[in-house]
Each structure stands twice: as structure tokens, then as C-alpha cells.
Amino acid sequence: MTEPSGDRAFKDAIYAQIARVGRAVSHPRRLELLDLLCQGPATVEQLARKSSLSVGSTSQHLQALKEARLVRGERRGTFVVYQLQDAGICALFHSLRTVAERSYAEMRVITEAFLADHAGLEAVDVGQLQDRIQGEDVVLVDVRPPDEYRAGHWPGALSVPLDQLAERLADLPRDRQIVAYCRGPYCVLSLHAVDLLRQEGFEAVRLVEGVSDWRARGLPMVEGYQA
């Protein structure tokens, strides 16, 4: 049956709008920026530093995301602070990541090859973490930068940014297990934190999930600064 021209025009127009989102997230660096913004608002300079991009390249990618209505910028003094348009954008990133994990064996191969350099490292998931917290056997440490911690963190987690960890070892108990977490399964901050803690004689493991995972599961998080 031939589709009426009016129907076809309507569908073409709708799918063209949906395709705008696809084009905006088709660059790996933009996906990384969305992942970073899932942690909380950030300036162009902060995002550039965290993603190892130049400020100019970061601005161009943010402009593409802004034009697709995925992020928005707000001027605060001399800086422009970017944030996700709404919580659904973080859910979109999480869904894309989940589909890729299920569809592409390369994701597992790449991850396993990278983790081979961190022999003996134990990873725990949220369920295991909750069991250990109930038994009061662990101290949960957030090793992300302070601005990300303030924007949202696991209840009770201590803020010990990776670049401060070596100086703050005396603040951590040696008679309890340390569980370190960062932005999610592909964030390397917690890997380096656990390596350092184990070298210094601590019992330390890595929490695999991060903020976007917890939000996708509807788990509560806390804003503000605790430690």
C-alpha cells in the first residue's frame, strides 16, 4: 500500500529531529563530556582538564551538544558553567553504554586487556557494597574531584580526591576495608587509588558502578561536602 505523501512527510520530519540527537552523540569525545556532566555541572576549563582536551576543542564539542539541546550553559561571573539539559540525558548516556556493552565484544576485550595491568584487583558491585556497609566492615571513599563529590555522592562516602590520597592516608583506618569509587566502570581514578592503597598496606577494593549507574537504578545520593 502506498503511503500518503502527508504521512511520509510527517514521519520524515519527526525522524529527522530524532537524528539530531544521534548526530550530536556520534563523537566519542562528546560522549565522554556527557559522562563527565553526569557527575555534575562544570566549566569549559574543568571539562577540558578532565578530558585531556584543549579548551577550544571542548568548547566546540559543547556547542554541538548545546545545539542538540542536550546541554545548556549558564554564565557565572567570568565563567560559563555547563550542565545536562535534564536528568534524561544522563539516562540516555547510560543506555548507550549498556547497549554497547551488550552488543560489542570489543568492550569486554578492551577492558580486560587494560585491567590486566592491575593484577589481583578486586571489584565489587552495589549489592556487595550494601551488604558490607550493613556489616560496618568498610569505609567508602570517593576519589573524584571535589566539585563532582559535592554535586552528588553515595551517602556516607568520604571525599578523598585521588591527587590528595597519598597525603591523607593517615585519615583512613587500617583495620577496615577501603572501597574506592569514581565515575563508573571505565573511570581509572579508582583503579589508581586502589593500587596506591594496596601498596601502602591497606585492604582496598574498587566499586565498579558510578553516579550514572546509581541514578539509572533510582538509588539515593547526597549533595554537599562531608569530608
How many domains does the chain divide into?
2
Evaluate whether residue 20 is within a structural domain: yes
Evaluate whether residue 210 is within a structural domain: yes
For 76, phi then psi, to 5°, come to -130, 100
So what's the pLDDT on residue 225? 67
Angle between helices 55-67 and 5-24 (to 10 degrees): 160
Answer yes or no: do 86 and 120 share one domain.
no
Evaluate whether residue 194 is within a structural domain: yes
Answer yes or no: do 117 and 207 share one domain.
yes
Q: What is the 3-state secondary structure (H, E, C) of 62-131?
A: HHHHHHCCCEEEEEECCEEEEEECCHHHHHHHHHHHHHHHHHCHHHHHHHHHHHCCCCCCCEECHHHHHH
Nearest 5 degrees, angle CA 227-CA 143-CA 131? 85
Evaluate whether residue 103 is within a structural domain: no
CATH number at residue 35: 1.10.10.10
Evaluate whether residue 100 is within a structural domain: no
Cell of 114: 587494560
Q: Check residues 25 and 210 and name the one with the higher pLDDT.
A: 25
Answer yes or no: do 119 and 210 share one domain.
yes
Answer yes or no: do 40 and 86 share one domain.
yes
Answer yes or no: do 125 and 74 share one domain.
no
Evaluate whether residue 120 is within a structural domain: yes
Answer yes or no: do 32 and 66 share one domain.
yes
Cell of 48: 577540558
Answer yes or no: do 80 and 147 share one domain.
no
Cell of 141: 571513599
For 192, phi then psi, to 5°, come to -65, -35
Evaluate whether residue 108 is within a structural domain: no
pLDDT by residue (tens digit) across 115-173? 877 666 677 777 777 777 776 678 999 999 999 999 999 888 999 999 999 999 999 99
Evaluate whether residue 158 is within a structural domain: yes
Cell of 87: 536528568
Answer yes or no: do 85 and 124 share one domain.
no
Answer yes or no: do 123 and 208 share one domain.
yes
pLDDT by residue (tens digit) across 4-57? 777 889 999 999 999 999 999 999 999 999 999 999 999 999 999 999 999 999
Which of 90, 105, 139 is the C-terminal boundary of a domain? Answer: 90
- Write down the residue that cell numbers 555541572 correspond to: 41
Q: Domain containing 135: what range?
A: 113-216
| Catalytic residue flag (residue 182) | yes
Answer yes or no: do 154 and 212 share one domain.
yes
